[in-house]
């Protein structure tokens, strides 16, 4: 207990120092001198992750004559949050993520699960189109069929029953199976039942159309294709150091070559900031008044991982549990099959870690550098309002190796420490947002920022993140280029995403056609609702 209060005191002291040191710190970049008549490119993409790669792919297909530049601070793309080892690789569809469903006044609210499921259907259509166009390689290099299983025990069984009853009424979850039979669950996910108390009450749901996704592989393949186009240029080992608006409403982006330390700049009509956790810092550089409402709270994640064939051969599933009462959404435990660069792994986590960095390969000064007179009070207010989150993070940081193994044994009772090693995942920055006349709010999802003049967009936040990148980048196009989306780009968007503009949850026939198309193209498992009902009736 003494350690807890000592740690808390240190955290509060650091926050006070930050507040005093940066209370009157300016936000915006200094104006960058440019010469009249300089060439102007159409789009600058900051960050070489899956968001920039996806947006660049859309724009290259929609407007092939546009000049696009991408700047990435690492020596190659997909090395931060998009990297296969820096995330859980889940194709988030709401099938098993119980934090997407909530019981309110005795009724199960599945609206968030429905929303996320619909978004991932768009992602699969985008990727299927890219496979057919030869942009993405053989699907097994980036996506593999892995059933999605929600698993609970004890008092949570009744929650599972209510959740299942509500979800199977929606076409997006047709084909979901529920079981409370330990033997059947052992067939679905042997590891979770090995060594478990036979008297323990358990329940699980299963969706066979689930998937494991290597977002790093998708990013690398998309960017490799973009580099084939003469209008696209990528610069790695390049850090953006300034973003300022010119009198003619174009933007000048200043950047530094990290190998030579030489600085340069480019003028552009549109800036997209897809820099992961660093997006808030980059957005602050613009000096846009509407950007001043944001601050960020960094949270890291650590996973236990194994490549022992005796373990990986027994587990082909993504099994999500239910977070403890009062725990934040980021704490949902899961034991997952992963396919990374042709090798199979099993991963368990996440365990929250704390660092002041906004990126895994960032600086311990990132949090300090993002603090200013506009967001210091909202940050302080959030800290006071979310003491349960602070306590959760402290308890996670103080966990021993044995504590982590004991958490794993809740999902794999026979787990042995010798088979597992810790792997530090990527950094995520949760949004702290202050709106006029409203209290500050801590947000755990993603948010698209678009400036009032539609010349700057940024992606802020975390989960579900990469899995919905094609849907999210569609939203960027709609906000930043509304006239083109409604006009000349519209037919092509319907080619890329066949269900574009339609609600699959309310159109079972179109949903069935869409899943046939994406599953056959991407090599996923899909059973039509009619075939599923017939199979269940024959049991």
For 237-293, what is each residue's pLDDT tens digit? 999 999 999 999 999 999 999 999 999 999 999 999 998 778 888 898 999 988 877
pLDDT at 387: 56
Beta bridge partners of 474: none
pLDDT at 16: 47
Write the CA distances from 530 to 289, 509, 526, 527, 537, integer angstroms.
Answer: 54, 11, 12, 8, 11
> Cα(137)–Cα(367) distance, rounded to whole angstroms?
38
- Output the six-digit token pair for 349: 């986590």
Residues of the chain with pLDDT under 70: 1-37, 296-297, 300, 325-331, 353-397, 426-431, 434-445, 462-464, 532, 534-539
Q: Phi then psi for 429, rounded to 5 degrees? A: -115, 110
Going 117 to 122 to 124 to 125, the CA torsion angle's sign is positive
pLDDT at 465: 79
Q: Phi then psi for 263, rounded to 5 degrees? A: -105, 150
Respond yes or no on whether the N-terminal peptide bond of residue 449 is cis (omega within 30° of 0): no
> Cα(454)–Cα(477) distance, rounded to whole angstroms?
10
- Output the six-digit token pair for 501: 């503009």
Q: Phi then psi for 39, rounded to 5 degrees? A: -65, 145
Tens digit of each residue's pLDDT (9 = 90 or more) over 23-42: 334 455 566 666 666 899 99
Contacts with 331 (C-beta within 8 Å, 6 or more apart), sequence order? 323, 324, 350, 352, 392, 396
> Cα(64)–Cα(119) distance, rounded to whole angstroms?
26
Among the four given CATH numbers 3.50.50.60, 3.40.190.10, 3.40.50.2300, 3.40.50.10800, the one describing domain 2-486: 3.50.50.60
> Cα(487)–Cα(466) distance, rounded to whole angstroms?
28
pLDDT at 291: 82
- Output the six-digit token pair for 17: 């120092």
Domain chopping of the chain, boundaries:
2-486
Looking up tokens 């358990």, which residue turns up? 202
pLDDT at 22: 45
Percent of the chain that is helix, strand, coil (3-state, to 5): 40, 25, 35
β-pairing verdict for 251-257 and 343-353: unpaired
> Cα(153)–Cα(401) distance, rounded to whole angstroms?
24
pLDDT at 89: 87
Strand ranges inside 24-100, DSSP E? 40-46, 68-71
Q: What is the DSSP string of 110-170?
A: -HHHHHHHHHHHHHHHHHHHHHHTTSS--GGGTEEE--EEEEEETTHHHHHHHHHHHHTTS
Contacts with 509 (C-beta within 8 Å, 6 or more apart), sequence order? none
Tens digit of each residue's pLDDT (9 = 90 or more) over 96-139: 999 899 988 889 999 999 999 999 999 999 999 999 999 999 99
For the entire predicted model, the pTM comes to 0.88
Residues 432, 370 contacting (CB under 8 angstroms): no
> Cα(51)–Cα(58) distance, rounded to whole angstroms?
11
> Cα(318)–Cα(295) distance, rounded to whole angstroms?
33
Contacts with 413 (C-beta within 8 Å, 6 or more apart), sequence order? 194, 195, 196
């Amino acid at each position: 207990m003494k350690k807890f209060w000592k740690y808390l005191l240190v955290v509060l002291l650091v926050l006070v120092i930050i507040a005093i040191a940066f209370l009157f710190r300016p936000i915006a970049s200094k104006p960058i001198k440019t010469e009249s008549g300089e060439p102007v490119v159409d789009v600058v993409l900051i960050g070489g992750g899956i968001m920039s790669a996806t947006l660049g792919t859309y724009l290259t297909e929609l407007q092939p004559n546009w000049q696009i530049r991408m700047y990435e601070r690492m020596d190659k793309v997909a090395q931060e949050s998009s990297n296969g080892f820096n995330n859980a690789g889940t194709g988030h569809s709401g099938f098993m993520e119980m934090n997407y469903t909530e019981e309110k006044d005795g009724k199960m609210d599945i609206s968030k699960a429905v929303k996320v499921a619909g978004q991932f259907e768009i992602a699969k259509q985008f990727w299927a189109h890219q496979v057919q166009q030869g942009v993405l390689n053989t699907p097994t290099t980036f996506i593999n069929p892995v059933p999605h299983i929600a698993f609970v025990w004890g008092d949570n069984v009744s929650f599972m029953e209510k959740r299942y009853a509500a979800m199977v009424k929606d076409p997006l979850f047709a084909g979901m199976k529920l079981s409370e039979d330990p033997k059947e669950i052992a067939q679905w996910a042997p590891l979770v039942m090995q060594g478990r108390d036979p008297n323990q009450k358990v329940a699980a749901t299963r969706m066979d159309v689930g998937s494991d996704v290597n977002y790093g592989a998708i990013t690398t393949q998309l960017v490799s294709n973009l580099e084939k186009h003469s209008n696209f240029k990528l610069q790695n080992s390049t850090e953006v150091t300034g973003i300022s608006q010119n009198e003619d409403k174009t933007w000048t982006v200043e950047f530094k070559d990290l190998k030579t330390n030489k600085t340069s700049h480019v003028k552009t009509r549109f800036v997209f900031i897809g820099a992961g956790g660093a997006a808030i810092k980059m957005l602050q550089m613009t000096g846009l008044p509407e950007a001043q409402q944001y601050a960020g709270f960094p949270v890291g994640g650590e996973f236990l991982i194994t490549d022992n064939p005796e373990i990986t051969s027994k587990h082909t599933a993504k099994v999500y549990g239910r977070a403890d009462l009062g725990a934040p959404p980021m704490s949902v435990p899961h034991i997952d099959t992963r396919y990374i660069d042709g090798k199979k792994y099993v991963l368990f986590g996440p365990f929250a870690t704390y660092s002041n960095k906004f990126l895994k390969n960032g600086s311990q000064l990132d949090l300090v550098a993002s603090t200013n007179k506009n967001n210091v009070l909202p940050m302080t207010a959030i800290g006071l309002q979310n003491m349960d989150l602070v306590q959760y993070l402290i308890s996670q940081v103080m966990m021993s190796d044995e504590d982590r193994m004991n958490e794993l044994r809740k999902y794999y009772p026979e787990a042995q420490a010798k088979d597992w090693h810790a792997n530090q995942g990527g950094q995520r920055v949760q949004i702290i947002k202050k709106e006029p006349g409203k209290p500050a709010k801590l947000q755990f999802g993603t948010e698209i920022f678009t400036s009032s003049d539609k010349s700057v967009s940024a992606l802020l936040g975390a989960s579900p993140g990469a899995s919905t990148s094609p849907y999210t980048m569609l939203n960027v196009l709609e906000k930043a280029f509304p006239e083109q989306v409604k006009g000349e780009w519209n037919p092509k968007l319907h080619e890329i995403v066949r269900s574009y503009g339609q609600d699959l949850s309310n159109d079972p026939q179109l949903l069935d056609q869409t899943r046939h198309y994406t599953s056959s193209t991407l090599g996923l498992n899909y059973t039509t609702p009619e075939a599923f009902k017939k199979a269940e009736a024959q049991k």
